[in-house]
Each structure stands twice: as C-alpha cells, then as structure tokens.
Amino acid sequence: MTDPHAGAPAAGRRPSPFRRAARLRGYLFALPALVIFGVFFYYALGFNVYLSLSSWNLLSPERHYVGFANYRALLMSPRFHRTLWNTALYTAGSTLGSMTIGLALALALRRVTRLARLVQGALFAPYVISWVSVALLWLWLLDPQYGLVDAAFVRLGLPAVNWLGAEGTALWSLVLLTIWKTVGYDMVTCLGGLQAIPAEVYESAALDGAGPGVQVFRITLPLLGPTVFFLLVTSVIFSFEAFDIVNIMTQGGPIHSATYLFVYFIYAVGFQYFQIGQAAAASVLLFLILLILTALEFQFLQRRVHYAA
Amino acid sequence: MRVCRMIAAVVAVVALLAPAGMAQAQIHLQFWYGLGGAWGQVVQDLVKQFNAAHPQIQVDAVFQGDYYQVVQKLLAAYAGGATPDIVQTVDTSVPQLAAAHALADLTALARGPDGVDMKNFIPALLPNGFYKGQMYAAPFNRSTPVLYYNKAMYRAHNIPDPRGPLSWSQFQDITQKLTVRDSGRVTVYGFETPINYWFWESLLWSAGGSVFDPKETRATFDSPIGVETVNWWKQMTDAGIMKAPTPEGFKAWDVARADFIQGVAAMIFSSSADINYLSTNSKSPVGVTFLPRKVKGAAATGGSYLAVPAYTKHTQEVWTFIRWMIQDPQMYYWVTHTGYVPVTRSALQYPQLQAYYKAHPEYYVPVEQLLQYGHSQPTSPVFNGSFHYLEDALREVVLGHTPAEKALQQAAAQIDQQLAQVK
C-alpha cells in the first residue's frame, strides 16, 4: 500500500484518494513536531513581538497598542545602557577567558598520562554541576563575613574584599566564576579537536625542523580553527543568556544595576516592575543582537577557519 | 475500524471513571502560600488541622517561593488561565491585583450570614485588603518591623532594656557603644538593617514624613525629611557602626539574621515574624523592642493577606477556609509559633493567647507597637511594581556615593509617572 512517490503526483492529474491519504500520513508524522514548534516557538515569538508594541501589565484585560514607545523607552533607559555594557563585558570576559585558559590547559594536558586524566576530570567537574548549585556555592565562598575566600585573604594579610557587594568587583566576580565553571568544557572540546589533528602533520613538520613553538602556532592553532569557532559561537550565545547566577547571587546589584545582564533585565522589568511591553521589546532586541552577532561571526571568522579532514 | 474501536474504548473508560469522580463530593482547593522554612511548616500544620475538621473540603497547600515570587507565579497563572483557589499574597500586591480584576470581591461574603465582624479587625491591618471600598483580601499573617537586640551585649555595656521606642539619637549612641573593633576591623556592628523600603518608610513616618501625598497621586518621600532619613543610615554606615548587607531583596534579610545570630550584629531590624526563629537560634538571649522614633512612633504593617483569585469556582468553600484561618484558636496557634501579630481584637482577648503573652512578653511587643503606632502601607495599585525605584535609590545612597536628594528625586519622578496612570 505504501507509495514512496506519494506527494509528488504526476502533473495534470488529480491525486488518487490513496495517494492523498499517504500524503496526509506524511503530514501526520510531522504534526507533533510542527505543533510543538508552532505553539511554543513561532506563536510565542510572534506574540512576543506583538507584546513589545503594547502596554500591558500581565493582568489587565486590555492591552494598548503603543507603537515603538517601549523600544524608545528602552533606548533612553540608563539601566538598559548599563545592561548592554555589562553584558558585553561579561560576554567578552567569560568567553575569552574560558577559551584561552581552556585551550592552554588542553595543550598542557594533551599527553595521556594518569595525572593528566585526573586533572582533566577535576577541571571538568564544575561543568556538570547545575548553575544554581554553583551560584549558591560561590555565594558562600565569596561571603565577606563567613566566606572561605576572604578568610584566606585575611590569613595572607590581604584586605578582605566584598566581592559581590562592591560595584567594582561584582561583575568580575561573576565573570571569574563563569570561567571556573565553563573552562573544563572548553578544555575537553579543545582536546577533542587536538586529537583530530593527524600525527603525520607534526612528524613532517618536525622533519622540516619546526620547533614546538612553531608547531603550536603554525599547525595546532590553525587546525583547531573549527573547534575554537564552534566554542566562540556557542559561548557568546550562552553568555547572553546567563540568568541564574545573577538572580541568585546579586539580583542585579549591589547598586547602579552593576550586574544587570540581559536576561535578568528582561525578568526584572517584566516581573518586578510589571512592564511586560518593555520586557518583550528587550527580548526582541536580544533576539536581533544574537542574530547579528552570530551572522558576523560566520561572516568574518568562518572564512578563516580551515576545515581539515 | 481500529480508530472506531479506540474511540469506543476511550468513551467507555471515561464513562466508568466519571461517576467515581462525582460520587466523591469532596472539594479540592489549591492554596498557594509564600512562606518557607519553619514558617511554611506552620502553614502546613494549620491546613492539616483544617482538612481534618472539614472532611468535605480538602485544601492542598503549595509552597510558591517568597512573597514576590508568589505574585510573579500568580501573574503567570492568570496569563495561562490556571490560577489556584486561594492565595497568600503580600499586602502591597492586593490593590494591584484587585485593580486588574484578578481577585474575587469578598465584601458580600464578609458581610453575609457567615461573615466576619469588620470592627473585630485591628484597624491598621485592614486598609491594604481593600480597593475602592470593596474587600478583596482578609489579613492573615501580619507583622510589624521591630528592633531585635542582643541582651548579653546590652548587659556588657550596662545599657538598660528599652521601654518603648528609643529616640534616633539615643539609638545612635547605643549603636556606637555596641560596635567593637579589632585592630581597625569591625568585629561587631552596633546595628544592621537590610536596605529595604519597609524599614525605611517606618523611619520616614517617625520623622514626620510621608511616602505619598494623602490622595496617592504623587510621591513625597523625596522631601527634606526623606533626605534626612536616608542620610541617617548613610552616616551610620560610613561611620562603620551600621552594616548594610549588600545582597538585594530577602537575601539581605537572611544576612542580617545570620549576623545577629552569630553575634556579628548587636541590633537588627527585622520582622516580628522572626521572634521565634531568632530566639531559637541565637546563642544570647534576644531582646525585642519598638523601632526608634524621631518625632513620633511609627511602624509599618507588613506580611500577607488571604485572597481569592477571580476565577475560582468554589468561592463559598474558600471563604470557609479563610474565615477558619483567622478564628481565635488558629490565630493563637499561628502567632505563638511564629511571632506574627493577631489580626483581630477577639484573638487578643483569647485567654490562652493572653497567658502566652504574659509568659513571653517579647511576643507582645509587636502587638503593642501595632496598636499604638501601626501604619498601613500605601494602597496605590502601582506601589507593588514601583517600590523598587525607591529601594534602588536608598541602596545607591547608603552603599554608593549618590547624593540623597538626587537619588530620591529620580525615584520619585519614576514613581510619579506610574501614579499618573492610575485611573
């Protein structure tokens, strides 16, 4: 009964009832995925765009169309400016930090020894812990009164630092612990990339007289391009989506919106100030920013990436 | 054919199950509450007692995070059309929800044959349950901010137990005395308070200031009195005798409580709801007294109400539950296991509660403060979404370097915009 050519009826002829049924079955198989995407993704996306053009508090039955007023208010808002700046710093700091250290660790630990494996395991461990646990853990470690970090500082004769409570250090504390959490993943991904580089390339380079330094910069790094590129794209997107650590550790504070990151901003505007329109507008902007960033990354970097087999 | 058979099977199963469901006349009510830890356990205890006493109604109490998380989840539930039947919701959210037609009007039930005597409620606890003259929520877990002090430290410095509110200057002297430094580093702060609007507005009122004008059309906290009030905190913080915990929201309360229990802070502002918790956990005996006063005594009311989301089908049963929760025996159980204040005058006359207060006078301090100086919160529907502007300003002054005038004026301007939209 199954007709493999159903759905492509010969021109000029009405599809037979059998063929129509078969084609319908094809749609039926796709239906669950289509419904889920349609309802939870495309409908939500469209509804969000619509909300971004309205004034609404989540409750009142009436939503007023306000045009681009929400976008204008956002672009005028000092807190939004600060959020953009914070997000840029956080993204640059955590992405570059984690990738550089991860790559260095991968190069240092690439030889398969028992010790290297142990260290790799230890470094990777934080990656599998949930963000909420990591945030709570570091909240204790960084506590100015009872925290281990400041206790160590005082023992060493250094001044105690109110890591999360001072405007100057709060964001960088978040960057540091993000690096701590993600560096293992970057390292493992780079190790995987390193293994894909054929040993013959190094052998022939060594024969040609290339030292270890030259090998790293002329062979390893260029051939690791696809891996690094993949890490860059995913880390940037991820950094833009950071929420848990802000919500648990600083709630955007301590002052002057010092640790407002993009998604936390959306949450605060929507669910603390109940300005759903502005929160929706910020979501749309986040979507556009990520789209543009990813496009730029592909445009400028992909060309320079060597996809060696 | 197969499809037909499946449909027939489903119909048969539904037909079999339906009567079973109907025979069970028990009504299930979902109750969202916003108190964690030991406090949440007491809520669960009360609900269990209610269910045992009302076999035909079963209340299912679901913990939904802190007060503000409850409101957030409730809003999401409205958007999704899946609200609970009863909600414990923070005082400032009642007008917000009522103005959006999200709550059932309880006025008729409260005045009806199974109603409550409005005059029985302690007056300062009522206004936040009303919106435009109608009752939308009944006070349940209400509290006032109090000053907790470490009795051992008071003794060590020969400071007598306060009787009634201290003046601001007396309070500052004591704070100074209680502060301990070890080679320049503060080891005991005389005083610690979360930089929270709730404590601040109490001080503002005690200095003769106001949050809004009487008609709630304009923010007035940026007055010279407001500036003086926030600068007082600033000045004590800069002098190193007051600690302002840096996390925001309820996290700051956790820090203050922990510091008090550990003896890092000699005095803290916190809710009267913490009496039981702090007395149980603190190494030193805990003193409870009134908030300090400038020109008059003042203490905000706080805590939550019991309200009914507009879409519940079981208004009558929900009302039965609410009424039961605020009856004297339940109030007695609730108050003595937490430190909240009773919401009715009759509960105050309840013999067991009176005996309890005689044996534990610290539990009576917030009641006395409430009866003498209780001050309800602003009742504008936009307050719950806009007090963050005020709190951000307070933090920027106390923890940062923004001049008080500038910070408060900016916050007032933001809130004025919101107030202007109220119809």
**Contact state of A162 with B388 under an 8 Å Cβ cutoff:** no
The ipTM (two decimal places) reads: 0.78
Domain that holds residue A253: 75-304
The CATH number of B2-142+302-375 is which of 3.30.565.10, 3.40.190.10, 2.60.40.1180, 3.30.360.10?
Answer: 3.40.190.10
A194: domain CATH number is 1.10.3720.10
Q: Hey, are the CB atoms on B386 and A58 less than 8 Å from each other? A: no
Chain A residues whose C-beta sits inside 8 Å of any chain B C-beta: 57-61, 144-146, 160, 162, 164-167, 250-256, 268, 271-275
Least confident range from A3-17, A108-122, A236-250, A289-303: namely A3-17
The answer as to whether A67 is a domain residue is no
| A70 within domain boundaries | no
Tokens, residue B95: 């007008």
Average pLDDT over residues A74-93: 94
* Preceding amide of A32 cis, omega within 30: no
Determine the pLDDT at residue B2: 55
* Chosen from A48, A59, A278 to mutate, greatest number of chain B CBs within 10 A: A59
Question: Is A87 in the same domain as A38?
Answer: no
Residue of A nearest to B250 (CA): A251
Q: How far is A270 from chain B (nearest CA, A)?
A: 9
What's phi and psi for B349, nearest 5 deg? -85, -5
State in Å, rounded, how far the first CA of chain B is from the last one. Answer: 61
- Give the one of A145, A167, A272 whose C-beta lies nearest to B388's C-beta: A272
**Residue in A59, A145, A251 closest to B248 by CB:** A251
The pLDDT of residue A212: 83
Instruction: Give yes or no: residues A230 and A151 share one domain.
Output: yes
pLDDT at residue B3 in the model: 53
Q: What is the mean pLDDT of residues B190-197?
A: 96
- Residue B22: is its pLDDT beyond 50? no
| CB pair distance less than 8 Å for A162 and B392 | no
Q: Is the pLDDT of residue A301 over 90?
A: no
What chain B residue is nearest to A162 in terms of C-alpha separation? B246
Interface residue B101 vs chain A (CB under 8 A): yes
Same fold, B2-142+302-375 and B145-300+382-420: yes
The whole-number pLDDT of residue B100 equals 85
Closest CA to B26 of B60, B49, B63, B64: B60
Q: CB–CB of B79 and A58 under 8 A?
A: yes
Going by pLDDT thresholds of 50, 70 and 90, the confidence category of residue B10 is low
Nearest-CA distance from B282 to chain A in Å?
17
Residue predicted with more confidence, B122 or A211: B122
d(CA B344, nearest CA chain A) in Å = 32
Is the pLDDT reported for residue A3 higher than 50? Answer: no
Q: How far apart are CA A285 and CA A161, in angstroms?
A: 36
**pLDDT the model gives residue B13:** 52
A71 has pLDDT over 80 = yes
Q: Does domain B145-300+382-420 have CATH number 3.60.40.10?
A: no
The pLDDT tens digits for B363-397 are: 999 999 999 999 999 999 999 989 999 999 999 99
Given A146, A162, A254, which is nearest B395 (Cβ)?
A254
**Residue B395 structure tokens:** 């933090």
Do A24 and A84 belong to one domain? Answer: no
Which of A59, A146, A251 is nearest residue B249 as measured by Cβ atoms? A251
Mutation target to probe the A interface, by most A beta carbons within 10 A, among B66, B197, B399 is B399
Residue B55: per-residue pLDDT: 92
Identity of the residue in B262, B385, B400 whose CB atom sits nearest the CB atom of A167? B400
Q: How confident is the model at residue B20 (pLDDT cuts 50, 70, 90)?
A: very low
Average pLDDT rounded to a whole number, residues B289-317: 93
Dist. CA A120–CA A106, nearest whole Å: 9
Determine the residue of chain A that is closest to B383 in CA distance: A273
CB-based contact B298:B165 (threshold 8 Å):
no
> Picking from A108-117, B141-150, B153-162, B377-386, which range would have the lowest pLDDT averaged per residue?
A108-117
**B377/B128 Cα distance (integer angstroms):** 7
Region B183-196: mean pLDDT is 92
B295-310 burial by CB neighbour count: b if 16+ within 10 A, else e?
Answer: eebbbbbbbbbbbbbb
Residue A62 lies in a domain: no
For the cut 60, the answer to whether the pLDDT of residue B24 exceeds it is no
Contacts of B247 in chain A (CB under 8 A): 164-165, 250-251, 253-254
The reply to whether B100 touches chain A by the CB within 8 Å rule is yes
Tally of domains in chain A? 2
pLDDT tens-digit readout, A129-160: 999 999 999 999 998 888 899 889 888 988 88
A25/A134 same-domain check? no
A170 and A40 share a domain? no
> Is some CB atom of chain A closer than 8 A to the CB atom of B184?
no
In a domain, A100, yes or no: yes
Structure confidence at residue A9 as a pLDDT band (50, 70, 90): very low
Average pLDDT over residues A169-174: 94
| Per-residue pLDDT tens over the stretch A210-227 | 888 888 888 888 888 888
Task: Give the residue extent of every domain in chain B.
Answer: 2-142+302-375, 145-300+382-420
Q: Which residue has the higher pLDDT, A166 or B10?
A: A166
Please check whether residues A166 and A292 belong to one and the same domain. Answer: yes
**Is the residue at A68 inside a domain?**
no
Residue A12 lies in a domain: yes
The confidence score (pLDDT) of residue B5 equals 61
**Cβ distance of B395 and A57 shorter than 8 Å:** no
Give me the pLDDT at residue A162, please.
87
Q: Looking at chain B, which residue has its C-alpha nearest residue A267?
A: B72
Split at pLDDT 50, 70, 90, the class of B8 is: low
pLDDT at B19: 46
Contact B240, B269 (CB under 8 A): no
In chain A, the residue whose alpha carbon lies closest to the alpha carbon of B243 is A145
Give the strand pairing for B302-307 and B137-143.
antiparallel
Residue B414 confidence (pLDDT): 92
- Residue A12: band (very low, low, confident or very high) from pLDDT cuts 50, 70, 90: low
Q: Chain A residue with minimal CA distance to B256? A: A145
Quote the pLDDT of residue B204. Answer: 97
In 10 A of CB B19, how many CB atoms?
9
Grade residue A302 by pLDDT with cuts at 50, 70 and 90.
low
pLDDT in tens, B89-108: 999 999 999 988 889 999 99
Average of per-residue pLDDT values in chain A: 86
> Same structural domain for residues A233 and A88?
yes
Which of B100, B262, B395 lies nearest to residue A255, judging by beta carbons? B395
Mean pLDDT of B190-212: 96
Q: Which of A109-113, B190-194, B266-270 has the lowest mean pLDDT?
A: A109-113
